[in-house]
Amino acid sequence: MTELGLFFAAFAAISWGTFFVPVRKVGIKNIWQLQGATSIGALFLAIPVGYFWGFEIQLGGLVSGVIWTIANLLALYSVRLIGLARTSPLLAGFGIISSFVWGITFFNETFDSLILALIAIGLLLVGLPFVVNGEKNPYIQKKGYFIAAVSGLIGGTYIIPMQMTQTLQSGFFSSSLSIFIIGIPMFLLARKFHKKETIAGIISGSLFNLGSFCVLIAVGLIGITIAFPIAQTATLFAVSWGMFYFREVIRRRGIVRVSVGALVILFGAALLAIA
């Protein structure tokens, strides 16, 4: 069961590591439209999953959908301000710290080595400055770093309401429905229904929920303190997309610093998984 849980956590990392790519490709101009289109994609994937997990409406799932929507809106804004390569490690680092605190505080999840777990958290904190100071760019708006940090802290708690009410699987459809209900008014209020942006948002929403589907299975098998950090290694894929495909970091020194920061964060996540 442990191996299966690790597999689903890793697959979640791949999905989450690419889900910002479609919206980054078309340009993040209208955050409300993109969030609305993302909500459509999230519900599209949730419907077939509902046939197996059920369409029951759970309060924990609805609350989780609200939390994720807030976190994703902030993440989209951060990507627009500082790019995908810089945003993703911050989301991962602060998301891992958030889930770690919840796991040991409220769910009494334990570690074979608490010292190793604390070292892992320390590595996460060490890696973050490398990402933030990766490359000087006059077009980078510094508030984007703060927004990414807040998004990570909030996003790291989005599955907590479902875990508190023990509705991880049955709450999946509820969280997707909540995301959809909140997102559609945003989509309509945007009043700009560009085809490319809409399709990109739908694809992104589907990729996100595919990752969520996998991570919820993983949490049920190996626990949140292991599953969520592994899933957050999505930063490796996101940083690679940002630097090498979107060319957000050009100078060699900047690429090295951001890469080192991302790898340190990933190493911290790996240590946390085996602690």
CA atoms within 13 A of residue 58's CA, in its CB half-sphere? 26
Report d(CA 55, CA 154) in Å as an integer. Answer: 26
- Whether residue 226 contacts residue 269, with contact meaning beta carbons closer than 8 Å, is answered with no
Report d(CA 204, CA 213) in Å as an integer. Answer: 14
Query: Within 10 A of 121 (CB to CB), how many other CB atoms are there?
Result: 20
pTM above 0.95, yes or no: no
Could you report the per-residue pLDDT of 100-116, keeping only the tens digit for each?
Answer: 788 777 777 776 777 78
Q: How confident is the model at residue 179 (pLDDT cuts 50, 70, 90)?
A: very high
Q: Which residues contact 152 (CB under 8 A, 6 or more apart)?
A: 71, 90, 91, 92, 93, 94, 95, 97, 98
Report d(CA 94, CA 154) in Å as an integer. Answer: 9
Domains contained in the chain, number? 1
Report d(CA 50, CA 154) in Å as an integer. Answer: 26
Q: Which residues contact 138 (CB under 8 A, 6 or more apart)?
A: none
* pLDDT of amino acid 97: 81
Give mean pLDDT, residues 149-153: 93
**Residue 83: domain span:** 2-274
CA dihedral in degrees (186, 30, 132, 274; nearest 10)?
50
Q: H helices within 141-251, ranges in order? A: 143-155, 160-164, 170-190, 195-222, 224-231, 234-240
Assigned token pair, 32? 């409300």
CA dihedral in degrees (41, 91, 215, 158; nearest 10)?
-80
Q: How confident is the model at residue 140 (pLDDT cuts 50, 70, 90)?
A: low
Amino acid at 184: I
Could you report the per-residue pLDDT of 11-50, keeping only the tens digit for each?
Answer: 998 898 898 999 988 888 889 889 999 999 999 889 888 8
Q: How confident is the model at residue 137 (pLDDT cuts 50, 70, 90)?
A: low
Q: Is the pLDDT of residue 226 over 90?
A: no
Q: What is the mean pLDDT of the chain?
A: 83
Amino acid at 235: T
